Amino acid sequence: MIVAVCFILLLVLLAVRVPIAISLALVSIGGIIALRGTRPAFGVLGSLPFDFAASWSLSAVPMFLLMGALASHTGMTRSLYQAARLWFNGLPGGLAVASNFASAGFAAASGSSLATAAAMGRLAIPEMLAFNYNKGLATATIAASGTLGAFIPPSIAFVLYGWYTQQPVGTLLVAGIVPGLLTAGLYSAMIILRCMHNPDLAPRADITVTWREKFAALTDIWPMPLLILCVVGGIFSGMTTATEAGAFGASFALLIALFSGRLSKRALYDSFTEAMRTTASLFFIAIGAILFTRFLAMSGLPLMMGDVVEAWNLGTLGVILIMIVVYLILGMFLDPLGIILLTLPIFLPMFKELDINLIWIGVLVVKMIEVGLLTPPVGMNAFIVKNIVGDRVPLSTIFAGLSWFLLCEVVIVGLLIAFPGLSLWLPNLM
């Protein structure tokens, strides 16, 4: 009864827009007081936040965020988009395809879907609209391709999932590579086919690009592939842990910016403040979630959920379908990382009871929270794009354009469920 009341109270707090970190903390402390009294509640409040923040594996989070901020503020991402634009210009919907693959490249430096959508939106949307691209296609491409930030390593979502489930973060990061590339490829195929069927969606740009210009553009993007290769290669080969790779990536991004003449005092200041601000925000949410986890553990709910799975004989597919429905609903209203930390205390006992591979299910969890960034009424990536375009494009147009990308996501989620090897093939080679 106490757990049920606390769940209702939590939903009420979230519905009235109380920040998720505060909502989780208030409900958790109140629940523990109701279960055990004030002394255990304040004992938990005094110890758990420090124990969480002092976790060695989570030190990868600010490092990956700093790496992405440095890449963004020193102009590395702009040259990446310009090169993609030149190489994909001849394809139907070439600018949209270029934006999609440039987002995949930026995702490999930022680790954040929201940051990817924001950075690429400022670069690509004005250019697509200037060439009379369909407004729904232009905006939806950026909103959807922003979700690649959670799959192409490094990924903050995988770091938090690995920390909570006690799975190796490096293995999770590598597991996201194939699904991320599959998503980018399917998005591009859909854009090309739609533009071939209806050329008015993306009028061909009357620009002639020589091979010399294409290869010249590649000389400006060398920092990004080198940075990605060092980080991902270090994790895949086992030379570095995910935490060490984060520190190495941030240091390497700083050195590249310094020796290429891209680093300024303003860029350095903006990069560090952005990384610190985002880290603090994530950690506040995570501390609230870990308090909520301790409350649920004291209530005995995780054990009960395991018993429910066994008694109802749901099976792996049944639990996955329930998870998909829950994440689709929560994704309409909540922050993606908050959803992970809010739901894992409930779902993890089910996964363990069914002996589900936690690397494979981790890819599905991250995929579903990313889909939630695109679904109405509160798809966060759609709102980020809306903030960029202002009154030029209605929100309804953005969501209408996203419907095509959501169809692609149905196919991708089905493939990930039917063929676990898509997620596990690369990790098995490590």
Question: Above 80 in pLDDT, residue 28?
Answer: yes
What does the pLDDT average to over 200-214? Answer: 74
Is the pLDDT at 415 greater than 90? The verdict is yes
CA-CA distance, 283 to 270, in Å (whole number)? 20
Confidence (pLDDT) at 405: 92
Q: Are 176 and 158 in contact (CB under 8 A)?
A: yes
Of 18, 27, 14, 53, the closest CA to residue 286 belongs to 53
Backbone angles phi, psi at 88, to 5 degrees: -100, 10
| Encoded amino acid at 374, one letter | L
If one counts every other C-beta atom within 10 angstroms of the C-beta of residue 378, the result is 13
Spatial distance between the Cα atoms of 257 and 237, rounded to a whole number of angstroms: 26
Mean pLDDT, all residues of the chain:
82
Percent of the chain at pLDDT above 90? Answer: 10
Nearest alpha-carbon partner for 76 in 109, 124, 122? 109
Alpha helices in 58-112 (DSSP H): 60-73, 76-87, 94-110
For residue 190, pLDDT over 80 is answered with: yes
Distance CA 142, CA 379 (A): 13
Render pLDDT for 239-284 as a digit per residue (tens, 0 to 9).
Answer: 887 778 888 888 888 888 888 777 788 888 988 998 888 888 878 8
Of 291, 416, 358, 300, the C-alpha closest to 20 is 291
Q: Which of 121, 160, 153, 152 is nearest to 139 (CA)?
A: 121
Burial class (CB in 10 A: 0-12, 13-18, 19+), 13: middle
Instruction: Provide the residue ranges of all domains of the chain, joining segments of one domain with +.
Output: 58-263+300-429
Six-digit token string for 14: 């979230």
For residues 199 and 194, give the distance between their C-alpha atoms in angstroms, rounded to a whole number: 8
Tokens of 261: 């003449």
What pLDDT score was predicted for residue 82?
Answer: 74
DSSP per position, 104-169: HHHHHHH--HHHHHHHHHHHHHHHHHHTT--HHHHHHHHHHHGGGGGTSSS-HHHHHHHHHHT--H
Residue 175 DSSP SS3: helix
In DSSP notation, 335-376 reads -HHHHHHHHHHHHHHHHHHTT--HHHHHHHHHHHHHHTTTSS
> pTM, whole model, 2 decimals?
0.79
Residue 307 binned pLDDT confidence (cut-offs 50, 70, 90): low
pLDDT at 36: 85
CA-wise closest residue to 216 among 75, 83, 80: 83
The number of CA neighbours under 13 Å toward the Cβ of 141 is 39
Q: Looking at beta carbons, which pairs linking 24-29 to residues 24 or more positions away fall under 8 Å?
A: 24/285, 24/288, 24/289, 24/291, 24/292, 24/341, 24/342, 25/287, 25/288, 25/291, 27/292, 27/295, 28/288, 28/291, 28/292, 28/294, 28/295, 29/291
User: What pLDDT is attached to residue 212?
Assistant: 77
**Pick from 262, 257, 264, 256: nearest CA to 230:** 256
